[in-house]
């Protein structure tokens, strides 16, 4: 203390002020560049896994589970197991997959977003509607209303012009209601249980696009720092909701 004290008098106030100002500018710029800025930081809550009971790893689709119990011989096994049979016609193979989702509502967030049925891009990523006022439902995965699996709806947090509808997800709170309106006019209500922000490189895609397990709705957008070079944000924000009881 005593050693530095005398020096103080010698510091030019102007230069010191300039230094402080410059450092402040650096701080602001860093904050702006490194993610405090572009998208509002949204705290995580809940765990996407909450209430989502994972079943054991599903065996390769081609290989059905072995029935429990001893299997003395191949012959006995083959004889013991009598498979069900079904008609193999084209008509019988056609599956009714239920009505498609067409709108997402979140009254508490002021959200009323039309949905497009989307697939994958040429690069193998989930397709997102260009228009940030719309969102995409991943049509290859589960539908809202299906008995199991994660229905995925994703929207841009922004477009070149500014904020997108899904920016509102950063304001979502646990227990909020979000709803899906389907093409037949029916409405499904969900309760928000979790929000997670994850580095895109670490996003559990198999979990997000899970076709099994309890039914849930997962809303996805981007957050974190914008990389001009990559043309993308660093993180994904995933909001998980389960059917309202």
Footprint of other proteins on 96-115 (CB under 8 A): none
Angle at 157 between CA 153 and CA 158, to 5 degrees: 130
Of the candidate spans 26-34, 106-114, 171-179, 182-190, the one that interacts with other proteins by CB under 8 A turns out to be: 26-34
Cα dist from 47 to 51, 158, 194, 204, whole Å: 9, 26, 5, 13
Q: Which residue in the set 83, 184, 202, 245 belongs to the binding site for other proteins (CB under 8 A)?
A: 83
Q: Quick check: 200 and 190 in contact, CB under 8 A?
A: no
| Least distance to other proteins, CB of residue 52, Å | 17
Q: Hunting for tokens 């969102």 — which residue is that?
A: 135
- Between CA 167 and CA 157 the distance in angstroms is 5
Q: Which residue in the set 47, 120, 173, 175 belongs to the binding site for other proteins (CB under 8 A)?
A: 120
Rg (CA), the chain: 26
Of the candidate spans 45-53, 87-95, 103-111, 185-193, the one that interacts with other proteins by CB under 8 A turns out to be: 87-95
- Please report whether residue 25 would count as binding other proteins according to CB under 8 A: yes
User: 146 to 205, contacts with other proteins by CB under 8 A?
Assistant: 152, 154-164, 166-167, 200, 203, 205
Both tokens of 209, joined, read: 């696009």
Which of 179/198 has CB closer to other proteins?
198
| Least distance to other proteins, CB of residue 188, Å | 22
Dihedral pair phi/psi, residue 102, rounded to 5°? -125, -20
Q: Quick check: 135 and 103 in contact, CB under 8 A?
A: no
- Between CA 193 and CA 191 the distance in angstroms is 6
Long-range contacts, 18-27 (Cβ 8 Å, 24+): none
Q: Which residue in the set 47, 54, 76, 110 belongs to the binding site for other proteins (CB under 8 A)?
A: 76
- Please report whether residue 71 would count as binding other proteins according to CB under 8 A: yes
Beta-sheet pairing, 216-227 with 150-154: parallel
Of the candidate spans 14-22, 42-50, 103-111, 178-186, the one that interacts with other proteins by CB under 8 A turns out to be: 14-22
Q: Count residues contacting other proteins (CB under 8 A)?
A: 97
- Taking alpha carbons only, the member of 146, 137, 154, 126 closest to residue 213 is 146
- Please report whether residue 55 would count as binding other proteins according to CB under 8 A: no
Q: Which residue in the set 104, 106, 111, 126 belongs to the binding site for other proteins (CB under 8 A)?
A: 126
Q: Which residue in the set 115, 168, 192, 208 belongs to the binding site for other proteins (CB under 8 A)?
A: 208
- Please report whether residue 86 would count as binding other proteins according to CB under 8 A: yes
- Please report whether residue 52 would count as binding other proteins according to CB under 8 A: no
């Amino acid at each position: 203390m005593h050693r530095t004290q005398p020096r103080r008098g010698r510091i030019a106030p102007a230069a010191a002020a300039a230094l402080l100002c410059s450092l402040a500018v650096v701080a602001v710029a860093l904050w702006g560049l490194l993610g405090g800025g572009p998208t509002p930081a949204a705290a995580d809550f809940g765990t996407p896994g909450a209430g989502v009971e994972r079943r054991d790893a599903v065996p390769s689709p081609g290989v059905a589970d072995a029935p429990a119990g001893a299997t003395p011989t191949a012959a006995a096994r083959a004889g013991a197991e009598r498979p069900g049979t079904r008609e193999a016609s084209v008509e019988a193979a056609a599956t009714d997959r239920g009505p498609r989702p067409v709108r997402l509502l979140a009254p508490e967030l002021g959200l009323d977003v039309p949905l497009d049925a989307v697939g994958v891009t040429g690069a193998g990523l989930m397709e997102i509607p260009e228009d940030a006022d719309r969102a995409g439902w991943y049509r290859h995965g589960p539908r809202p209303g299906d008995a199991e699996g994660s229905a995925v709806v994703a929207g841009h947090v922004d477009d070149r012009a500014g904020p997108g509808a899904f920016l509102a997800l950063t304001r979502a709170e646990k227990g909020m209601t979000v709803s899906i309106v389907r093409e037949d006019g029916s409405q499904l209500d969900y309760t928000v249980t979790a929000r997670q922000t994850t580095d895109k490189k670490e996003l559990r895609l198999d979990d997000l696009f899970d076709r099994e397990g309890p039914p849930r709705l997962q809303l996805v957008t981007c957050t974190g720092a914008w990389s001009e070079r990559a043309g993308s944000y660093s993180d994904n924000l995933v909001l998980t909701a389960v059917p309202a009881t």
